[in-house]
Structure 1
Amino acid sequence: MKLPQQPGRLFLWRGAALVISPGIDSSLHTHFALQLTYGLERPFRARLQADHDWTETRSASFAPHDAHQIDSDGGMLAHLFLEMPEAVKLSGTDLRAAFGTWPEFQALATSLSDNRHQSLDMEAAQHIRQIWQACALPQSQTSASLDSRILTALDAIAASHGADCNGENLARLVHLSESRFTHLFRQQTGMSLSRYLLWSRMVDAVAAVAQGNNMTAAAHASGFADLAHMSRTFRSMMGVAPSELHRMAIAFKQDAI
């Protein structure tokens, strides 16, 4: 007898998120994070352009900045989102990613079946994240490294939660001119500093919701002008409305947010 489907779970760290939830069909969208997706109950469909044919798959890797859309037909999906520097270690989007065939990952997927994800704690979720990441990003694909000055800037952005983070202040921190720093940031990450700061604020907004704030308070706490601005950003980056967060139980490691 199949167990009734329960609400999803979201586990949040600085730089990563694990989502296990009944599939939420998305609109076509792009985002900064590397996204790994697996159909726990059955295959799902994905496409990379609105005029492309759908591809049925069980496991997919979506590279940063690559547009994609998912049709889950209500099936339970697991997603792992990874930010920098892991985000630059994937060679490209793969709608039939090989990680789903690895025995280590298969054991992990089995452990999440039949709503058993409801009993996960942060330690178990971290273990899942590590196994999944190792399967999806084998050593042969992890040679990319970021300039130490960009890593310093990323750490500063994470520590400040976006406060007083702009090109001038970050450039001063790493002893570069603002124009040189913003050029290097784009060169290293594939995106503008302003776009990354927007992504970081969105992550902070999710963390604020996890800490019990309502959507309006979360928007202001994370530096958005208002709730409408946060909602537009969330939808454009995730393909769904931020109200979907209220359908999930959110767990986070306090010292990592």
Structure 2
Amino acid sequence: MIKQTSNPFILALKARNLTVEIHQHSAYQIVLSNDTPFNSTISGIFYERIHGFLIKPHVPHFCIAENGTLNVLNIEPYSHIGLELAGRFKEDQNYIVFNSPHETNSFFQTQNDSLDVNMVVDAMLSRLPSIDYDARVTRIVEYIKGNYFEQNITPQTFADIVFLSPSRLASLFKKQTGSSLSKYLLWTRLRQAIYLILSDKDRSLTDIAYDTGFYDLPQFNKYMYEMFGMPPKALKHNSDLIDIY
């Protein structure tokens, strides 16, 4: 079953029998074993039979899980949830390895012996402060949700909707969501594009790029690789092994 998480800054994938080349990306990433231990190399250090890791943006790594299933959560780094994760690292620490399910449960404060990805997401969200969102921010979020595919969206587009200057709106949006407007829009487009790649396998990548607000396939390729460390074609060619939550 294909579904999307309720939080706009989290992209959660389930990958079976996964082997990926060394890569890095702009998102925080959580990788958790859904059944059996796996091997990974992070910053040149090999880890054998681990149960998961949390990694900062721009840290080179790769995974091999030939006989199991991995939950992969990519998180927008400047969102509130991304900033909360950033606060869990010690000074000069770029990643955290989980050697057992117990360590995973302890870190995310989830039930023992449960690695359900929805519980992990709920546990992370529960640590965030409660925010009473400004009605203007809510209106912009709803606009992006319904119009992300439009290619001519500019800061002035948003400003005209809520009758604020672009700079004032940018400051308000950043304060309440932790993310800039441009990153929020980009993240929304990427999430929807990945959803289409995995759910509509007959559609071409060029059409998906255009239908989700990118100018062309090269621009889509650029942002996919920057945020997730892989081009769209890699996701499409392995789509039989990957689901999106």
The answer on 1:73 being equivalent to 2:67 is no
User: C-alpha separation between the residues in 1 aligned to 2:110 and 2:180?
Assistant: 38
Correspondence list, 1:1-257, <5 A = 11-13=3-5, 15=8, 16-21=10-15, 22-31=18-27, 34-40=28-34, 41-45=36-40, 47=42, 52=43, 54=45, 56=47, 58-62=51-55, 66-75=57-66, 76-82=69-75, 86-90=81-85, 91-92=87-88, 95-96=96-97, 98-101=103-106, 104=111, 106-108=113-115, 128-135=116-123, 137=124, 139=126, 141-143=127-129, 145=131, 147-148=133-134, 149-163=136-150, 165-209=153-197, 210-211=199-200, 212-246=202-236, 247-249=238-240
CA apart distance, 1:237: 1.0
CA apart distance, 1:196: 2.9
CA apart distance, 1:104: 2.6
User: 1:172-205 deviations in whole A, cap 9, x for unaligned?
Assistant: 3333211111233344445432233222222222
CA apart distance, 1:23: 3.9
Range with bigger deviation, 201-210 or 229-238: 201-210
Question: 2:221 corresponds to which letter in structure 1?
Answer: S
- 3-state SS of 2:233 partner: helix
Percent of pairs with identical residues: 19
Superposition TM-score, scaled by structure 1 size: 0.67
Gaps of 5+ in 1: 1-8, 109-127
User: 1:201-231 deviations in whole A, cap 9, x for unaligned?
Assistant: 2222223322342111111111222212211
CA apart distance, 1:26: 4.2
- The structure where strand makes up a greater share of residues is 2
User: C-alpha separation between the residues in 1 aligned to 2:29 and 2:144?
Assistant: 21
Range with bigger deviation, 144-153 or 179-188: 144-153
User: C-alpha separation between the residues in 2 aligned to 1:138 and 1:203?
Assistant: 19
Question: 1:228 corresponds to which letter in structure 2?
Answer: P
- Contact kept, 8 Å, 1:24 with 1:74, in 2: the verdict is no
Range with bigger deviation, 169-178 or 12-21: 12-21
User: 1:90-136 deviations in whole A, cap 9, x for unaligned?
Assistant: 3345513653446636334xxxxxxxxxxxxxxxxxxx44312234x
CA RMSD of aligned residues (A): 3.3
- Rate the CA distance shift 1:105–1:131 in 2: closer, same or farther, 3 A: farther
User: C-alpha separation between the residues in 1 aligned to 2:149 and 2:84?
Assistant: 24
User: C-alpha separation between the residues in 2 aligned to 1:151 and 1:23?
Assistant: 40
Query: How many residues in Structure 1 have an aligned counterpart in Structure 2?
Result: 216
